[in-house]
Structure 1
Amino acid sequence: MPSALKQLASKLFSTPAEQDKEQAGLDDVQLAAAVLMVEVARADFSEDAVERRAVEAELRSAFGLDEGQVARLMQAASRRADEAVSLHRFVATINDSLSYADKLDVLTQLWRVAYADGELDKHEEHLMRRFSDMLHIPHRDWIQRKLSVAPE
């Protein structure tokens, strides 16, 4: 099948989220991490500017992205989080792609987002515990990472 025809078929039969990913040139791991961060920011039922800036800062720092790339990633992650029935596929992407040390780094980034507004909501902590379990991170490492970013 000619290349142009393949591209047309791909666009016709792909979901809007898949099209966003292709257009923005997003990496699966970046998108998965961003979706989890967006979910943590939303867990306390108030998505404020402080938490949004924290997510953006973590994405810039972790992946070396510029402002435009971060904006596209945030838009795609927010859309994916809105559409997601389950977060398991995002966690599976991280589990399949990252080493244990890298997964600990993701957990630390998630904790920074959870504490961005200066307090830890019970819903944020519950979600962090679920993510830690799904990432196969033992409780001692979960606590260690939590304490490393918690305000004094």
Structure 2
Amino acid sequence: MLERLNTFFQSFIAGEQDNEFDGNDTRVLIVALCFQVMEADGTISAAERKSLKKSIKDHYDLDRSKIEALLEAGQQAESEAVDYYRFTSELKRRLDENQRLELVSVLWDIVYADGMRNEMEDHILWRVADLLGVSDRDRILARQKAAERAGQKADGQAGDEQVAGDADAS
């Protein structure tokens, strides 16, 4: 999972080496979306944050203070956003189809980083993928692959894990 995150983030380094993190920096937009996904279940787990930090460190070649600055900029951008559209519309323009699908895959990896998938995370990924122009089929396949990488099962078939929040419906 970390390798996939690293590869994905590495693809956005070109042209953004100044390490000044304004709201239009692709890295900030990506990190902001990551925070939206991580916050969907009401908490940001240490595993989710650690995964994101390591990926940033490995592929942006930033020192600790710059990593923290990028995380802070992404979290600030996320907290100021009224919806996903601010990030997804810009990323849809900047990223090609394969990169948008890869972003959805990375977001699914973050969902599974804490070992649990929440129904709110499912909803956010559905909306984000839709706004990015990623098909339902590709979104579901990305979820299944992320679950496999995390050693979990992705759908609600017998023997699969329950999505957090669905337990009350049983």
After TM superposition, the score normalised by the length of structure 1 is 0.77
Contact preservation (8 Å) 2:84, 2:128? no
Check if 1:107 corresponds to 2:111.
Answer: no
How far did residue 89 of structure 1 move?
1.4
Of residues 47, 62, 65 in structure 2, which corresponds to 1:66? 62
Q: Using a 3 Å threshold, how does the CA distance of structure 1 residues 60 and 108 change in structure 2: closer, same or farther? A: farther
Secondary structure of 1:115's partner? helix
Structure of greater Rg: 1
Alignment of 1:10-21 (within 5 A): none
Show CA shifts across 1:74-127 (max 9, x none): 011111111211221111111010111111111111011111110100000110
> Which has the higher relative contact order, 1 or 2, with Cα contacts under 8 A spaced 6 or more apart?
1
Q: Which residue of 1 aligns with 2:40?
A: 43
How far did residue 48 of structure 1 move?
2.0
- The RMSD of aligned alpha carbons is 1.8
Show CA shifts across 1:5-59 (max 9, x none): xxxxxxxxxxxxxxxxxx9513621111100001111000012211111222343
Check if 1:78 corresponds to 2:68.
Answer: no
Of residues 14, 20, 36 in structure 2, which corresponds to 1:25? 20
Contact preservation (8 Å) 2:38, 2:111? yes
Q: 2:54, 2:78 → 1: CA distance?
A: 19
Contact preservation (8 Å) 2:48, 2:114? yes
Q: 1:58, 1:146 → 2: CA distance?
A: 19
Q: Percent identical across equivalent pairs?
A: 25
Check if 1:126 corresponds to 2:123.
Answer: yes
After TM superposition, the score normalised by the length of structure 2 is 0.69
Q: Using a 3 Å threshold, how does the CA distance of structure 1 residues 46 and 79 change in structure 2: closer, same or farther? A: same
| Total equivalences in the alignment | 129
What runs of 5+ residues in structure 1 fail to find an aligned partner? 1-22
